Amino acid sequence: MSQKIRVLIVDDSAVVRQTLSQIVSSDPLLEVMGTASDPYFAAKKIADETPDVITLDVEMPRMDGLTFLKKIMAQHPIPVVIISSLTDAATETGMKALEYGAVEIITKPQMNTKQFIEESRIRICDAIKAAAHAKLSRKRFAEPLTVEPKLSADAILPPVSMPQSMIKTTEIVIAVGASTGGTEALTVFLQALPMDCPGVVIVQHMPEKFTRSFANRLNEICKISVKEAENGDSVIRGRALIAPGNYHMLLKRSGARYYVEVKEGPLVNRHRPSVDVLFRSTARYAGANAIGVIMTGMGDDGARGLLEMHEAGAKTVAQDEKSCVVFGMPKEAIKLGAADKVLSLESIAPYVLKPF
């Protein structure tokens, strides 16, 4: 091509839009036509000027990327490269994106490693250039172009009718859910916990394979031990278990022993692992012997689960808006009346360590 390839970047994160803009602009054959924070803004830009290639995130407010991709391919096909931390060619989401007409799927560049950013730059620029030459045809979809049903925790575990742990015990379990901005929030929270703190179970929305390296990094910098959960792991004092990417994690109890079950299953609230699944299981098996913490994140995963914990007698906390990267999940929990306290990130650890 004699002219530069014009790229429209669609992502709800301003940081990601800036990073992708720098990556695209670094290639002499590419130029950034514009950026958009969600598909609705993107549609307005496309109406004014058609890009050669769109880079598209999957998880966004107002309309998810897969729904937008289907609309593009059914109405006005434009080459699309999915750039998302939530997709991988081997996952169901990745297969759906390819099925709906995406040219390629790339993992978002991580900001913590220079080598990874450079490798990502090469992959992203190559994918965009390849997409610009792709032959596209209008897609026909048998199903209507509507957002897919969002499953609740019912898909994994029936609603709690009566907690299976009614007796107050000295052993407490801390259940934590986080999404966007959660890696830093969890780092602050876990670093503040002493070696003899109650056992912690965590769902952080992260792709498969990333959770293990995240757990290993936390294990190196925290007083407590931190590991990616494996099926049957005991929940014990001084240890935090992080749900593995692409698997749900449930808290279970056998006698006085708490342990986790790691299992496959459908997306719940568009996530696997789902905070709602962890919180519901904690409400059922720990009841008033638990503390629930919902942190920064997009959407509402965990809000209803935190309410179930609250109703089962657990102590519940939501991170406040000022300290959140995205005030989505905590906001929804607060709206439901699920949080006993709304606290800054730095105040959460001291609060959960107080005796009941």
Alpha carbon distance 250, 263 (integer Å): 8
Reported as a single tens digit per residue, the pLDDT across 283-304 is: 999 999 999 999 998 789 999 9
Reported as a single tens digit per residue, the pLDDT across 240-275 is: 999 998 899 999 998 889 999 999 988 888 788 999
In single-letter form, the type of residue at position 45 comes to K
Give me the percent of the chain exceeding a pLDDT of 70: 83
The DSSP bridge pattern shows strands 173-178 and 315-319 to be unpaired
Nearest-CA neighbor of 15 among 108, 88, 123, 121? 108
Nearest-CA neighbor of 59 among 99, 103, 108, 95? 108
Q: What is the model's pLDDT at position 301? A: 94
Alpha carbon distance 186, 295 (integer Å): 8
Cβ 298 vs Cβ 59: under 8 Å: yes
- SS3 for 30? strand
Q: How far is CA 137 from CA 21, 143, 166, 284, in A?
A: 28, 18, 59, 50
- Residue 132 — pLDDT band, cuts 50, 70, 90? confident
Q: At the top level of CATH, which class does the domain 153-352 belong to?
A: alpha beta
Cβ-based neighbours of 40, under 8 Å, separated by 6 or more:
62, 63
CB hemisphere CA count around 174 (13 angstroms): 29
Cβ-based neighbours of 300, under 8 Å, separated by 6 or more:
269, 328, 329, 332
Alpha carbon distance 343, 210 (integer Å): 28
Alpha carbon distance 18, 52 (integer Å): 19
In single-letter form, the type of residue at position 105 comes to I
Nearest-CA neighbor of 254 among 169, 154, 164? 164
Known catalytic residue: 310? no
- Residue 149 — pLDDT band, cuts 50, 70, 90? low
For the record, the structure tokens of 333 come out as 């929990």
Active-site pick, 38, 52, 165, 205:
205
Domain boundaries, the chain: 5-132, 153-352
Q: May I ask the CATH architecture of the domain 5-132?
A: 3-Layer(aba) Sandwich (3.40)
Lowest mean pLDDT among 97-106, 129-138, 190-199, 276-285: 129-138
Cβ-based neighbours of 332, under 8 Å, separated by 6 or more:
299, 300, 303
Q: What is the model's pLDDT at position 243? A: 98
In single-letter form, the type of residue at position 302 comes to G
Known catalytic residue: 205? yes
- Residue 136 — pLDDT band, cuts 50, 70, 90? low
Segment of 89-98, 115-124, 287-296 carrying the highest mean pLDDT: 287-296
Active-site pick, 21, 37, 120, 179:
179
Active-site pick, 301, 310, 320, 323:
301
What DSSP element (H or E) covers 189? helix 182-191
What's 133's DSSP letter? T
Known catalytic residue: 13? no
Examine domains 5-132 and 153-352 and report if their fold is the same.
yes
